[in-house]
């Protein structure tokens, strides 16, 4: 678990965000009245807002010495701390510096709780924070729910809650209350929260934490020292900051300073010098940064900026709409599309699958025609139309699966349960035998063999054996992009093949047994039936256990590419954007390098 946190956040986020530069020692001030003690948990928030006539140096904000480590502040606050700052002030970076030190402590002392970063953007209203953490551990960190619950109960977790301001505005107060309730229940558990200043001030609830700090803007000396550490290439930017007040104000934000550094460093020197002579607003700065990053790496231009910006803009819009800070390919759903395109998605998939079962029926009927007469062909076509129609109009896939055209459920891990499998298989055999008995009674006058009772019992047995024996596992093992979709396709192929072959083998043995006990079934009738049952059960099981999810993802990507909302090869494009510091890879997912950049892309398509 420690290695997973280190890989996801320190390597995947912190190191990438620094771009090889040293960390800047940020100035911090205590803002004690921003948090409530346990005894004052019910007080209103209005009594801590900064008065207009408050003089610098008064008790409201107490400066800390430059260079004070965040871990020192954390220790003095006894592990319960609120970190506030303006957008781009370095809240997440400071949090991850703390994570780095806490991980080292946990590695050296097995009794130290496990530091885990949770992004609050995915919190939903009325969900207890502890339950939400357990779910996040399962989906983000591959921790089984029972283990996550045990860690929480035994005080072995150290939650670091990033981005209270990223919770939907109408749910933000409820989230703060959920944090306070969590603190009341787990009094000894260290807890750290980050939030933008203005969003926290707007809350009607204070957090029950021991201490609060505010990250301060960079001063000109810090900015100049940072740029000097990057070499002479940025001399033009350093000179511009001495004369351009607008540029200097933007550079007070560590994020914007990083953006300026990359934008200037990647562009030709004469262009960088000329840009230092003009006013650069935040939008222009992002324009320059994005354009340069999109063309970065020796002029390689797989995707033009005119493509990259709208695609990332659409992604940013949807991530905001569905409260996602980390995007996994598996999270793509049909409801990300406009309503008319959702109907296009469902109708296209419905038509293709109905046609697939129609072709199976036609192929089986063709075999029957070769072995018997036209009635076998008609029976095969009728079976294909019925099975395809049941799927297209009633969403029925075998007895146990009901298709949802507007939701994609990946099947990433499967477990086999023998007790449930045998119970289900036994019930299926009884049901199949009853149907077979009815067929025999109705067709006895036409010479129908009682051996059909055995064959239909075997069909019922294997179908319900698969239906009850296979279970989807809760863990989401996503360490590479699109891994869940790939595993769904693999599981679908494996389950479909084993079910189809198993059906064929059992029916062959059943036919031999029927002939041996003097209940012969003509091969001309048994062969098309066995072929049809094997194909139908194999294809249906394969679709139900992963194949359908893989088909849905292909169909969804096809529509996204058709309407220019995303490229055809989405993973390649996301990797391309991550290589250019527009996105950042976190395990098997992607996140924007900062919320401000996400906002910039979202606004480009509004």
How does pLDDT run across 203-253, given as a tens digit for each residue?
Answer: 989 999 999 999 999 988 888 888 888 778 787 778 878 877 767 777 888
Upper half-sphere CA count for residue 469 (Cβ side, 13 Å): 19
Query: What is the per-residue pLDDT for 236?
Result: 74
Query: What is the per-residue pLDDT for 594?
Result: 80
Q: How many CB atoms lie within 10 A of CB 167?
A: 24
Q: In whole angstroms, give the CA distance from residue 557 to residue 245.
A: 46
483: its two tokens: 């891994």
Q: 3-state DSSP call for residue 51?
A: coil
Q: How many CB atoms lie within 10 A of CB 340?
A: 8
Contact 425, 416 (CB under 8 A): no
**Range name among 64-78, 254-268, 403-417 with the lowest pLDDT average:** 254-268
Upper half-sphere CA count for residue 358 (Cβ side, 13 Å): 10
- What is the mean pLDDT of the segment spanning 343-352? 93
**Range name among 196-205, 249-258, 261-270 with the lowest pLDDT average:** 261-270
Contact 580, 296 (CB under 8 A): yes
Query: What is the per-residue pLDDT for 247?
Result: 73
How does pLDDT run across 292-313, given as a tens digit for each residue?
Answer: 677 654 445 578 888 899 999 9
pLDDT at 47 over 50: no
Q: Which of 57-66, 173-182, 245-254, 369-378 has the highest mean pLDDT?
A: 173-182
With 0-12 / 13-18 / 19 or more C-beta atoms within 10 angstroms meaning exposed / middle / buried, residue 47 is: exposed
Q: In whole angstroms, give the CA distance from residue 279 to residue 282.
A: 10
Q: What element of type H or E holds 83? A: strand 80-85
232: its two tokens: 């002479």
Contact 172, 203 (CB under 8 A): yes
Torsion of CA 590, 596, 601, 605, to 10 degrees: 130
The helices-and-strands tally (H runs, E runs) of the chain is: 24, 13
Kindly report the CA angle at 135 between 9 and 592, in degrees rounded to 5?
35
Q: Does domain 2-216 have CATH number 3.40.50?
A: yes
Q: How confident is the model at residue 269 (pLDDT cuts 50, 70, 90)?
A: low
Query: What is the per-residue pLDDT for 267?
Result: 58
| 397: β partners | 401
Q: How confident is the model at residue 59 (pLDDT cuts 50, 70, 90)?
A: very low
With 0-12 / 13-18 / 19 or more C-beta atoms within 10 angstroms meaning exposed / middle / buried, residue 493 is: middle
- What is the mean pLDDT of the segment spanning 509-528? 91
Which of 322, 339, 344, 340 lies closest to 331, judged by CA?
322
Q: Which of 162-171, 284-293, 298-307, 554-563 has the highest mean pLDDT?
A: 554-563
Residues 6+ apart with CB under 8 A from 73: 28, 64, 81, 211, 213
Percent above pLDDT 70 for the chain = 88
Contact 395, 403 (CB under 8 A): yes
- What is the mean pLDDT of the segment spanning 439-445? 86
Q: In whole angstroms, give the CA distance from residue 537 to residue 220.
A: 71
Query: Domain boundaries in the chain?
Result: 2-216, 225-327+597-604, 339-562
Query: What is the per-residue pLDDT for 477?
Result: 62
Q: How confident is the model at residue 50 (pLDDT cuts 50, 70, 90)?
A: very low
Average pLDDT over the chain, rounded to whole? 85
pLDDT at 366 over 70: yes
283: its two tokens: 């939008």
Q: Over the Cα atoms of the chain, what is R_g?
A: 31
Q: In whole angstroms, give the CA distance from residue 601 to residue 583.
A: 11
Tallying the residues shown for the chain, one arrives at 606
Upper half-sphere CA count for residue 422 (Cβ side, 13 Å): 2
Q: 3-state DSSP call for residue 234?
A: helix
Place of tokens 């610098």: 56
Which of 214, 218, 254, 234 lies closest to 82, judged by CA?
214
Query: What is the per-residue pLDDT for 22?
Result: 56
- What is the mean pLDDT of the segment spanning 278-299? 63
pLDDT at 103 over 90: yes
Q: How confident is the model at residue 176 (pLDDT cuts 50, 70, 90)?
A: very high
Q: In whole angstroms, give the CA distance from residue 494 to residue 497.
A: 5
Q: How confident is the model at residue 593 (pLDDT cuts 50, 70, 90)?
A: confident
Query: What is the per-residue pLDDT for 295?
Result: 64
**Range name among 94-108, 243-257, 557-571 with the lowest pLDDT average:** 243-257
**Range name among 27-41, 339-353, 481-495 with the lowest pLDDT average:** 27-41
- 287 compared with 269, residue with greater pLDDT: 287
Q: In whole angstroms, give the CA distance from residue 441 to residue 384.
A: 25
Contact 159, 193 (CB under 8 A): no
Q: 3-state DSSP call for residue 427?
A: helix
- What is the mean pLDDT of the segment spanning 55-66? 67
Report residue 247: phi and psi, to 5°. -65, -40
pLDDT at 284 over 80: no
| 116: β partners | 159
Q: In whole angstroms, give the CA distance from residue 245 to residue 253.
A: 14
How does pLDDT run across 318-341, given as a tens digit for each residue?
Answer: 999 998 889 999 999 999 999 999
- What is the mean pLDDT of the segment spanning 129-155? 92
Backbone CA torsion sign across 5, 7, 13, 18 = positive
Query: What is the per-residue pLDDT for 17?
Result: 58
Torsion of CA 181, 187, 191, 195, to 10 degrees: 40
Percent above pLDDT 90 for the chain = 54
Q: How confident is the model at residue 66 (pLDDT cuts 50, 70, 90)?
A: confident
Q: How confident is the model at residue 19 (pLDDT cuts 50, 70, 90)?
A: low
DSSP string, 509-556: HHHHHHHHTT----HHHHHHHHHHHHHHHHHHHHIIIIIHHHHHHHHH
Terminal C-alpha separation, the chain: 40
- The pTM (predicted TM-score) of the whole model is 0.73
pLDDT at 105 over 80: yes
Query: 589: left (phi > 0), else alpha (psi -120 to 50), else beta?
Result: beta
- What is the mean pLDDT of the segment spanning 406-435? 93
């Amino acid at each position: 678990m420690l290695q997973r946190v280190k890989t996801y956040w320190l390597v995947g986020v912190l190191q990438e965000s620094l771009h090889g530069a040293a960390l800047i020692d940020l100035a911090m001030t205590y803002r004690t009245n921003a948090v409530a003690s346990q005894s004052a948990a019910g007080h209103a928030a209005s009594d801590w807002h900064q008065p207009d006539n408050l003089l610098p140096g008064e008790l409201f904000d107490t400066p800390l010495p430059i260079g004070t480590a965040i871990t020192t502040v954390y220790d003095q606050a006894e592990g319960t701390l609120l970190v506030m700052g303006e957008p781009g002030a370095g809240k997440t970076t400071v949090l991850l510096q703390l994570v780095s030190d806490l991980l080292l402590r946990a590695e050296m002392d097995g009794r130290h709780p496990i530091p885990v970063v949770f992004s609050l953007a995915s919190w939903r209203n009325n969900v207890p924070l502890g339950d939400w953490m357990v779910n996040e551990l399962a989906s983000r960190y591959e921790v089984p729910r029972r283990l996550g619950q045990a860690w929480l109960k035994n005080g072995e977790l150290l939650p670091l809650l990033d981005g209270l301001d990223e919770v939907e505005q109408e749910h933000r107060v409820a989230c703060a209350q959920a944090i306070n309730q969590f603190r009341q229940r787990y009094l000894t558990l260290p807890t750290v929260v980050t939030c933008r200043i203005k969003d926290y001030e707007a809350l009607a609830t204070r957090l029950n934490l021991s201490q609060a700090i505010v990250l301060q803007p960079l001063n000109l000396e810090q900015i100049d020292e940072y740029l000097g550490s990057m070499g002479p290439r940025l001399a033009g930017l350093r000179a511009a900051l001495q004369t351009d007040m607008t540029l200097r104000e933007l550079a007070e934000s560590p994020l914007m300073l990083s953006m300026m550094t990359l934008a200037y460093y990647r562009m030709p020197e004469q262009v960088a010098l000329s840009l230092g002579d003009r006013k650069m607003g935040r939008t222009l700065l992002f324009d320059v940064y994005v354009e340069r990053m999109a063309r970065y790496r020796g002029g390689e231009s797989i995707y033009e900026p005119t493509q990259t910006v709208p695609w990332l803009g659409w992604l940013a819009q949807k991530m905001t709409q569905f409260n996602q800070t980390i995007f996994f390919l598996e999270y793509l759903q049909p409801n990300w599309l406009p309503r008319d395109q959702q109907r296009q998605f469902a109708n296209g998939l419905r038509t293709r699958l109905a046609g697939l079962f129609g072709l199976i029926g036609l192929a089986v009927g063709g075999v029957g025609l070769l072995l018997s007469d036209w009635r076998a062909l008609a029976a095969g076509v009728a079976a294909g139309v019925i099975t395809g129609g049941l799927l297209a109009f009633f969403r029925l896939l075998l007895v146990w699966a009901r298709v949802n055209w507007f939701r994609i459920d990946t099947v990433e891990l499967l477990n086999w349960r023998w007790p449930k499998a045998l119970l289900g298989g036994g019930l299926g055999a009884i049901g199949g035998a009853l149907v077979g008995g009815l067929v025999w009674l109705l067709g006895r006058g036409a010479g129908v063999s009682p051996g059909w009772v055995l064959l239909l019992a075997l069909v019922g047995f294997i179908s319900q054996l698969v239906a009850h024996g296979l279970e989807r596992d809760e863990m989401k093992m996503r360490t590479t992009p699109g891994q869940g979709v790939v595993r769904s396709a693999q599981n679908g192929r494996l389950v479909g093949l084993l079910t189809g072959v198993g059906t064929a083998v059992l029916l062959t043995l059943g036919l031999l047994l029927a002939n041996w006990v003097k209940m012969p079934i003509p091969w001309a009738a048994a062969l098309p039936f066995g072929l049809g049952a094997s194909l139908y059960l194999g294809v249906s099981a394969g679709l139900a256990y992963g194949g359908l999810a893989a088909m849905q993802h292909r169909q969804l990507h096809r529509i996204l590419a058709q309407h220019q909302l995303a490229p055809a090869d989405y993973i390649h494009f996301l990797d391309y954007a991550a290589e250019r510091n527009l996105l950042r890879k976190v395990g098997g997912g992607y996140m924007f390098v900062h919320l401000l950049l996400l906002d910039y892309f979202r606004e480009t398509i509004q």
